Amino acid sequence: MVKRRPDLDAVFSALADPTRRRIVERLVRGELTVGEIAAEFPISQPAISKHVKILEQSGLLTREIDGRVHRCRVSLAAMRDAAHWLEEQERFWNGALDNLDDFLARTSPDKEQR
């Protein structure tokens, strides 16, 4: 079994679900209780709780428990880690694909004829 970086995998896997992405987008604008999140989405509160739990386990969401009220907010550090990983991959591939363009132009078989 390949050892993987658990945090990043959990973050991407959490973000792979459209409802969870919308929850994150919503929480970026301000913290909400689980009940408030549930009120904004056309799915049951238990389903929302499950999504919140997955987001929490990924590190994207932190929960503050005040009596019976669970306040949720987004962890910008986890978002930044994901953005940083993505940026590295994008930089790598954009660099390589630019090089490929140069290489193909340099080695073009019909370069002489044009």
Partner 1 sequence: MSNTQAPTAALVIRRTYKASRSRVFAAWTQPELLRQWFAPPPGWTIPEATIDARVGGTYRITFRSPDGTVRIVGGVFREYREPERFSYTWAWDDRDRDAGEMLVSVDLRDHGDETELILTHENFADQTSYARHEGGWQLSLTNLAAIL
In this complex, which beta carbon is closest to partner 1, that of residue 23 or of residue 38? 23
Residue 17 near partner 1 by CB under 8 A: yes
Pick from 65, 89, 112, 113 the residue near partner 1 by CB under 8 A: 89
Closest separation in Å from C-beta 49 to partner 1: 16
Interstrand relation of 69-74 and 61-66 (parallel, antiparallel or unpaired): antiparallel
Residue 28 near partner 1 by CB under 8 A: yes
In this complex, which beta carbon is closest to partner 1, that of residue 68 or of residue 111? 111
Task: Please choose, out of 6-14, 30-38, 41-49, 61-69, the segment that lies near partner 1 by the rule CB under 8 A.
Answer: 6-14
Binding mask 64-83 toward partner 1 (x if CB under 8 A, else -) reads ------------x--xx-xx
Tell me the C-alpha to C-alpha distance, in Å, between residue 78 and each of 16, 71, 73, 92, 104. 15, 18, 12, 22, 39
Contacts 24+ apart (CB under 8 A), 1-8: 7/58, 7/59, 7/78, 7/81, 8/81, 8/82, 8/85
